[in-house]
Amino acid sequence: MKSWARAAASAVVISTLTACAGESDTPAQEPVPAVAAPQVVEIATSDFAFTAPDSIGAGWVTLRMTAGTGEFHHVQVVRLDEGHTFDDLAAELAKGEGPPPTWARALGGANGADPGAAVETSLMLEPGNYALICSIPSEDGMPHFMKGMMRPLTVTGTATGAVVPTPDVTLTMSDSGFAFSGPVAAGMRMIRVENTAAMPHEVIIIKLADGATAASLLSWLVEGMQGPPPGSGRGGTVALEQGAWNMVHADLTPGNYALVDFMPNPVDGRPNAAHGMLLDFTVE
Ligand SMILES: [Cu+2]
235-254 pLDDT tens trace:
999 999 999 999 999 999 99
Reported in sequence order, the residue ranges of 93-228 that DSSP labels E, i.e. its strands, are: 104-110, 118-125, 128-133, 150-156, 169-174, 177-180, 187-195, 201-208
CATH number of domain containing 206: 2.60.40.420
Q: What is the pLDDT of residue 11?
A: 26
- For residue 259, the surrounding DSSP H or E stretch is strand 255-260
Contact 236, 205 (CB under 8 A): yes
Q: How far is the CA of 56 from the centre of ligand 1 (A)?
A: 22
Q: How far is the CA of 258 from the centre of ligand 1 (A)?
A: 22
Residue numbers of the domain that contains 261:
165-284
Q: How many other CB atoms sit within 10 Å of the CB of residue 132?
A: 26
Q: How many domains does the chain have?
A: 2
Please count the residues of the chain: 284
CA 157–ligand 1 middle distance (angstroms) = 29
Q: Distance from the CA of 244 to the center of ligand 1, in angstroms? A: 22
Q: Is 23 domain-assigned?
A: no
Ligand 1 center to 235 CA (angstroms): 15
243 CA to centre of ligand 1 in angstroms: 25
Give 112 Cα–ligand 1 centroid separation in angstroms: 11
Give the pLDDT of residue 17: 29
How far the first Cα of the chain sits from its last, in Å, is 28
**Last residue within a domain, chosen from 133, 148, 164:** 164
Q: Are residues 176 and 144 in the same domain?
A: no
Closest CA to 19 of 11, 10, 28: 28
In this structure, is residue 25 part of a structural domain? no
Are residues 66 and 128 both part of a single domain? yes
Q: Which residues surround ligand 1, an ion (CB under 5 A)?
A: 73, 134, 136, 144, 149
CB atoms within 10 A of CB 7: 17
Q: 86-145: per-residue pLDDT in tens?
A: 999 999 999 877 778 999 999 999 999 999 999 999 999 999 999 999 999 998 989 999
CB 149 within 8 A of CB 65: no
Task: Name 139's Cβ contacts closer than 8 Å, sequence gap at least 6.
Answer: none
Residue 111 placed within a domain: yes
Which one-letter amino acid corresponds to residue 175? D
With beta carbons less than 8 A apart as the criterion, state whether 50 and 85 touch: no
Claim to verify: residue 149 and residue 246 sit in the same structural domain? no
Assess whether 151 and 184 both reside in one domain.
no
- Residue pair 64/120 in contact by the 8 Å Cβ criterion: yes
Q: Which of 143, 164, 185 is the last residue of a domain?
A: 164
Report CA-CA distances (Å) from 141 to 106, 108, 145, 170, 261. 22, 22, 12, 34, 18
Distance from residue 3's CA to the centre of ligand 1 (Å): 18
Amino acid in the structure at residue 124: M
Residues 50 and 106 in one domain: yes
How far is ligand 1, taken at its centre, from the CA of residue 237, in Å? 14
H or E segment and range at residue 250: strand 245-252
Tell which of 135, 164, 193 closes a domain. Answer: 164
- Cβ of 65: how many Cβ atoms within 10 Å? 27
Query: How far apart are the CA of 144 and the centre of ligand 1, in A?
Result: 5
Instruction: Tell whether 262 and 233 lie within a shared domain.
Output: yes
CA distances from 71 to 35, 67, 136 (A): 39, 9, 9
Query: pLDDT digit of tens for each residue in the chain (284 aa)?
Result: 223 222 222 222 222 223 333 334 555 566 655 566 779 999 999 999 999 999 999 999 999 999 999 999 999 999 999 999 999 999 999 987 777 899 999 999 999 999 999 999 999 999 999 999 999 999 898 999 999 999 999 999 877 677 899 999 999 999 999 999 999 999 999 999 999 999 999 999 999 999 999 999 999 988 887 888 899 999 999 999 999 999 999 999 999 999 999 999 989 989 999 999 999 999 99
Query: Sign of dihedral through CA atoms 67, 140, 53, 252?
Result: positive
70 alpha carbon to ligand 1 midpoint, in Å? Answer: 9
Examine the domain organization and report whether 193 and 76 are in the same domain. no
The CA distance from 202 to 186, in Å, is 22
Distance 236 CA to ligand 1 centre (A): 15
Nearest to 130 by CA among 158, 160, 110, 155: 155
For residues 199 and 137, state if they share a domain.
Answer: no
